[in-house]
Structure 1
Amino acid sequence: MHTLITPADLAALLVVGPAPRILDVRWKLGGPPGRTEFRRGHLPGAVYVDLDTELAGHGEPTDGRHPLPAPDDLQAAARGWGLNDGDTVVVYDDLGNMSSARAWWLLRNAGVRDVRLLDGGLGAWRADGLPVVEGEEPVTPGSVTLGFGALPTLDADAAAALAQDGVLLDARAAERYRGDSEPIDPRAGHIPGAVNAPTGGNLDADGRFLPAAELRARFEALGVRAWPGADAAAGRVGELASAGAPASPVGTTSGAADGDETEAGPDASGGAAAVPDAGFDVGVYCGSGVTAAHEAVALTLAGFAPALYPGSWSQWSNMPDRPVATGDAPGH
């Protein structure tokens, strides 16, 4: 299953067909409205997707800033984008796929068979001299049926345990990880034991994903390993997603990566379960579960099976009983 598509390949697909459903997911924290930018110029046939209202739920601060949308809400939104069963979907933005990766992850988690990121995003499309169009066209609603739970997720308890007994990556910028600055959440720092891996390190100077071998070397240097069972899962995550295979959560940690219901929470002795039994190799979080999806894409390209902590720092920092580490060190 392909994860990326180049501008040239997408342009050819638009000519020879069948045309994929293209989703424009431009969004920036505190930036201009993405829909305004969309109307000024977007890929032919693209539909705008609002990350805040369509790719996230809404709840209490302890749910995080961008909790996962309810399955029925995501299905209604996807039908509004014109998505039908069996469609190929291409997602893009104008910031190295930092926001469109959220759509990729949600649709794969919902069982959509073929979801790809436009490598390099809108910038790469323009750099290749390919056309953009202005305005916004009406969309014929689709009839897609979505599932839920095909990819592994973590709740706060599982993230805390993984940071101590496995590898939990913090995808935020180094200054936020260290606690030097915190522009939006109530506390500064990181989950004790988490390792910093800013998402910018996944891309080259042109905003394209690094080659798989370079990504793998990057994550291995941070301690990520492919565990037996989970190693095969890295290649099977797409199969599970395409089948819409539901996964029973552990806490809310899913065992979908190996297709079995597995426990990754506390074991009978009160300790954390061993990572090799969890059905994934590594956990990822960010500020609110958006750019962590970008890290999940990079890990998938590198051949690892990642689990996403959707609540991320915006949830953790709103829980007064959760410890916080600061500085460059993980701080177990």
Structure 2
Amino acid sequence: MTPLITANQLEEIINSGEDVLLCDCRFDLTDPESGKKAYEESHIPGAIYVDLDRDMSGNKTGSNGRHPLPSPEAWAQTKTRLGMTSNTLVVAYDKQGSVYASRLWWMLKATGHAKVQVLDGGLDAWNGPMGTVPRKPNPAPQAIEPRTYVGLALVDEVVANLQTKKLTVIDARANDRFHGQNETLDPIAGHIPGAINHFFKGNLSATAFKPAEQLFKDFVELLGPVKPAEVIHQCGSGVTACHNLLAMEVAGLKGSRLYAGSWSEWCADPSRPVET
């Protein structure tokens, strides 16, 4: 299954009556309630709202980042509550360049859910009808079994890589934040030593992803001889990094991994080095 779906393809699926679960993932890091408010005002008919803080993140400890992944057990319970079965086609969308939809895409793929796609261009690409009545999720009839996250890199491996340098870390944040400038979200500015920068918005043409051929060219130029399996993606809190993971998947460059704790976890420990 291709990771992206066009608005026309989605409309055809909806009109055919095929079982599809639309997930509205709109969110704003600086205004966490705005996404849900926007959903309640207007959304693709039949969509449920999936919240980054409440649904796609776990408990924060102060040292595990701003959006830590929920435990596999908690994520399985959330998927059951949202009505996701193994046969459900899940289509995620947002209005922020597919950033938050990409997080849901990665979390589902990483726990074995094959039938998940991101609406290319998000809500801006949708020309069909809009609904105003929020839909409550219909829980799945059978509880989903927990599965560990496949493709997850933990902080100890990233720390060890400072010495071994066997892996390439790609930081998805804007160039100024990568260089320790204009930091507004985390208490310490800078980046993981040795990381390279690929701002996630570089994957887009307007609000849609660039063609696969262009994404392939972009990442090959960035990585050179480095293989996808030797790549770890990170960002501020493990969200926009999923956008780079999705873009590489679209480009046919599969096998890279996510450091979900990202910079917000890294900088919470003063013993970890910082580069600007």
TM-score normalised by length of structure 2: 0.93
- After superposition, residues 103-182 of structure 1 pair within 5 angstroms as 103-125=104-126, 129-142=127-140, 143=142, 145-149=144-148, 151-162=150-161, 164-182=165-183
Judge conservation of contact 1:58–1:65 (CA < 8 Å) in 2: no
C-alpha contact (below 8 Å) 2:4/2:250 kept by paired residues: no
Question: Residue 273 of structure 2: SS of its match in structure 1?
Answer: coil
**Please, which runs of 5 or more residues in structure 2 have no aligned partner?**
none
Output one character per residue of 1:4-62: Cα deviation in whole Å (capped at 9) or x when no partner. 10000000000113131111111111125211100111111100011101101113221
1:194-243: per-residue Cα shift (whole Å, max 9, x none)? Answer: 001000000102x111111211111122125464xx6xxxxxxxxxxxxx
- What residue is the counterpart of 2:223 in the other structure? 223
The one-letter code of the counterpart of 1:42 is H
Query: Which residue of structure 2 lines up, in the alignment, with residue 86 of structure 1?
Result: 87
- C-alpha deviations, 1:108-162, integer Å up to 9, x for none? 111112100000000111xxx3111002123321135244235311122322444
Is the aligned partner of 1:30 residue 2:30? yes
Equivalent-residue separation in structure 1 for 2:21 and 2:145 (angstroms): 15
Question: Quick one: distance in 2 between partners of 1:188 and 1:72?
Answer: 33
User: Structure 1 residue 321 and structure 2 residue 276: aligned?
Assistant: no
Return 191-200 or 214-223, whichever deviates more.
Answer: 214-223
Please give the alpha-carbon distance, in whole angstroms, between the structure 2 residues aligned to 1:79 and 1:224: 41
Deviation digits for residues 153-183 of structure 1 (CA, Å, limit 9, x no counterpart): 1122322444633311000001100001211
Q: State the number of aligned residues.
A: 271
Q: Any idea what SS the aligned residue of 1:165 has?
A: coil
**1:295 matched residue in structure 2:** 244
Residue 186 of structure 1: CA displacement? Answer: 1.7
Q: CA–CA distance in 1 between the matches of 2:24 and 2:121? A: 13
Classify 1:71/1:157 alpha carbon distance in 2 versus 1 (closer, same or farther; 3 Å). closer
Change (3 A) 1:133 1:105: same
Q: Secondary structure at the match of 1:90?
A: strand
Alignment of 1:201-240 (within 5 A): 201-205=202-206, 207-223=207-223, 225=225, 227=227
Q: Which residue of 2 aligns with 1:196?
A: 197
* TM-score between both structures, scaled by the size of structure 1: 0.78
Instruction: Name the amino acid aligned to 2:106.
Output: W
Tell me whether 1:281 sits opposite 2:230 in the alignment. Answer: yes
5+ residue gaps in structure 1? 231-279, 327-332
1:226-265 superposed matches below 5 A: 227=227
Provide the rounded CA distance (Å) in 2 between the counterparts of 1:58 and 1:70: 9
Change (3 A) 1:226 1:115: farther
C-alpha distance in 2 between matches for 1:138 and 1:155: 34
Q: Percent identity?
A: 37
